[in-house]
Structure 1
């Protein structure tokens, strides 16, 4: 239940996550500090407790840093995959269009026009700002793929030569890359890893607050800066992990350049 709720929150809004993350870490730090002050007030010997809590807290911070680094690497790898596939798809579309224009006849002109429309739908898919738009774009892309392949079949029946074989191969690569792109956009850092990172952060910050409570000094400025840094790192993961609603998105420039190469406007939907 907790995992499902966290998954829903993580895809709802980056701002919503930020609005919950930092205050919850502040609460954990304050709770740990107050608990530490209560324990310290009941004991006369503090040096042993301080040394032990410092050792344990250092270990927890190290583990949290490792988990944060691992999660950022996961998210960055998925972002890089989406970005690389945009370039690869644009190149495949351009290659297919150029090969279609090597063939004479009205059928090749129809095919080239279909490839141009395909590129525009691919651009709309890449730049879509809501997951609600995706089913319609995928359906449109499927219809275009079917139409393009029918046109390819008509060309192949009338002119079977190395050029048409190369064109068919380019179209197949173009279709495969869109499938790869769909998979890349649906691939995220596992929610249970992000949830584990959040729970580890709460526990670690709480332990840090407890240690400060034992010592009797809040260090408000440094603690606040630390929490801001941890929150920023976790928000970065959320941002990279959401290609539609995040601010860090795959650059669609290669597709725009390809469409401009057709001689038509590249429209961002």
Structure 2
């Protein structure tokens, strides 16, 4: 089964907006022409409470838009907060590595210097799987060093502090993967949002056709506003590759502070 979100993800954000506008204009125009034709054909028949139905649909769409926006914003804020948490955890692990005996201390810090760039997500999702794989390899190396030190120094309190921060760093890595790749607005919500918006626009056009008069300005404004809100929901739901991206400044600052792999900074 083709995933609807995969289809949306394959489109640039600008094209999501343009595609919705084109379809929305066509749907609204078809609704208007059908209502106009039906009114001329059944002029002597009294229509039901179409305006009331349209008003109910608009209220329902406003409620659904609010829910969708809230879900997308919550997931976006979660991804943003995890970047700061991970930067703090990696920084703490790097500092506590100074407690370790040499050469383990220098080796751990050098591995962390190589680890930080892998955690900085670019505006494009290309290479994400490779970065995750390399991050896991470095985590395995760091944990192996910690295991060896723990066997030799089972009662060391400072080593326990290092292992605690390292464990938190590894946990945050997995949390970022889940939040960035798998924690999305449910596909059924997006489908209902887009289909409901198009149905509402068709009903508005149909109602205008029955009355045989319409305001083109109001119709265009409604389409533009709906298109902008839906596009924003889709953009917020994307981990990257959109107009609204998660700021990676915390990790970038950390990278500048600790330096690059192979370079040992003086205290």
Same fold (TM over 0.5): yes
Instruction: Tell me how far apart the structure 1 counterparts of residues 142 and 210 of structure 2 sit (CA, whole Å).
Output: 71
Instruction: Tell me how far apart the structure 1 counterparts of residues 259 and 143 of structure 2 sit (CA, whole Å).
Output: 23
User: What is the deviation of 1:195?
Assistant: 1.0
Q: Does 1:204 align with 2:203?
A: no
Aligned 8 A contact 1:108 1:155 in 2: no
2:186 to 168, 190, 212: 190
Q: Aligned Cα RMSD in Å?
A: 1.8
Q: Does 1:31 align with 2:30?
A: yes
Aligned residues between the structures: 258
Structure 2 length-normalised TM: 0.91
Instruction: Give the aligned partner of residue 264 of structure 2.
Output: none
Instruction: Tell me how far apart the structure 1 counterparts of residues 232 and 249 of structure 2 sit (CA, whole Å).
Output: 23
Q: Which runs of 5+ in 1 are unaligned?
A: none
Q: Does 1:232 align with 2:228?
A: yes
Instruction: Give the aligned partner of residue 151 of structure 1.
Output: 145
Instruction: Give the aligned partner of residue 6 of structure 1.
Output: 4
Structure 1 length-normalised TM: 0.90
Instruction: Tell me how far apart the structure 2 counterparts of residues 5 and 27 of structure 1 sit (CA, whole Å).
Output: 25
* 4+ long deviations beyond 6 Å: none
Which has the larger helix fraction? 1
- For residues 1-150 of structure 1, the aligned pairs below 5 Å read 4=2, 6-13=4-11, 14-44=13-43, 49=47, 52-123=49-120, 126-127=121-122, 129-130=124-125, 132-150=126-144
Instruction: Tell me how far apart the structure 2 counterparts of residues 20 and 189 of structure 1 sit (CA, whole Å).
Output: 20
1:162 to 157, 170, 174: 157
Instruction: Tell me how far apart the structure 1 counterparts of residues 114 and 213 of structure 2 sit (CA, whole Å).
Output: 65
Aligned 8 A contact 1:7 1:191 in 2: yes
Instruction: Tell me how far apart the structure 2 counterparts of residues 105 and 158 of structure 1 sit (CA, whole Å).
Output: 14
Q: 1:5 to 1:81 in 2, by over 3 A?
A: closer
Q: Which runs of 5+ in 2 are unaligned?
A: 262-267
Look up the SS of the partner of 1:226 in the other structure: helix
